[in-house]
Amino acid sequence: MAISAIKVLVVDDSAFMRLLISDILNADKDLEVIDTASDGKIAIEKTQELQPDVVVLDMNMGNHDGLHAIKGIMKARPTPILILSSVGNSSLEPIFEGFNLGAVDYLNKPDTKQKNLRQISSEIIKKTKQVSNANLASLLSKRKKENINPHVFSKELNYDIIAIGSSTGGPTAVEEVIKHLPSNLTVPVLIVQHMPENFIPAFVARLDKITSLKVIVGHPNIKPAAGMIIVAPAHANMIISDDKKKKIAFTDEVFRDFNNPSVNAMMLSVAKQYGGRTIGVILTGMGKDGALGLKAIKDAGGHTIAQSKETCTIFGMPKAAGDVGQSTSLYH
């Protein structure tokens, strides 16, 4: 029995871009563009009528923009959304707001859209397929949660560091984790989030606003300290230095599953330097990055946590972490 193609609705205010994006997607046998829309209002209506598997959505569209579309689609007929827009070239806040409203992932259009969009054809196809498999129930449930945990933390904590890795769907998941950390956290937190390089400073600034803890971008020679949250930059693989100083460093080593930034790079170094006094966490994401690192933390005697399938946007990375054989707690 033949497998049906993934049905795509393309939303862009430019007729040329709608045609070009449709052409790129239809070139893949697993994808079928069933229709297009020129603004957010029409996108909401066509999503209800045609029931696509995924919506590929621009953000800048006059009166009924991408945020209007995301909000309306999630209310009328929740559908996985990939934001494909050049808005990230000037401001990232609309993208993060889109994530909070329920969009799954983002891909940046080049500055000169018509000239260069075909240069990222393979990425557009890959991301569209990934987003179509997203668990929307988990995304929508995260938006309703509030931090009801008292901000207290035992000084007798048996761990010295927390290492977190995530990818697709991760920005929202990471925000939820950070919001629930106590204000008197006595250990540092390292975060590797698969994300374009220009996103990291805005992501860090956003996290810094939602917690009383200090959130910074990692750079060489920083000494991880209590209550400090260090987010890996996206141009290098961040590690803990292989010496007694235990400072942030970068490595030129290439990792099979993902690079710049690599979750495995960070977690393998943390396991080596902190051993059993490590808490390792793998959140939502596509692929296998982090599985080897989390196993190393477990083998060293640390505590390992993988996000549950029910709450993951994409269950790839947590599943891979479980498949390599370690016993983990499930984060809901």
For residue 154, what are the CA distances in angstroms to 102, 107, 151, 183, 233?
35, 41, 10, 12, 31
Cβ(280)–Cβ(328) below 8 Å: no
Name the residue with tokens 């329920």.
102
Q: Identify whether residues 119 and 190 lie together within a single domain.
A: no
Range of the domain at 302: 161-331
Q: Identify whether residues 325 and 201 lie together within a single domain.
A: yes
pLDDT in tens, 157-216: 689 999 999 999 999 999 999 998 998 899 999 999 999 898 999 999 999 999 999 999
Cβ(46)–Cβ(72) below 8 Å: no
The set of catalytic residues is 167, 194, 289
pLDDT score of 112: 63
pLDDT score of 1: 37
As a whole number, mean pLDDT of residues 29-57 equals 97
Q: Identify whether residues 311 and 180 lie together within a single domain.
A: yes
Q: Is 146 inside any structural domain?
A: no
As a whole number, mean pLDDT of residues 271-297 equals 95
| Phi, psi for residue 7 in degrees, rounded to 5 | -85, 125
pLDDT in tens, 263-272: 999 999 999 9
CATH number at residue 194: 3.40.50.180
Domain count along the chain: 2
Q: Identify whether residues 197 and 238 lie together within a single domain.
A: yes
Q: Is 142 inside any structural domain?
A: no
Percent of the chain beyond pLDDT 70?
Answer: 89
**Which pTM was predicted?**
0.86
Cβ(39)–Cβ(13) below 8 Å: yes
Close Cβ partners of 157 (under 8 Å, ≥ 6 residues apart): 186, 187
Among candidate residues 90, 115, 134, the one where a domain is terminated? 134
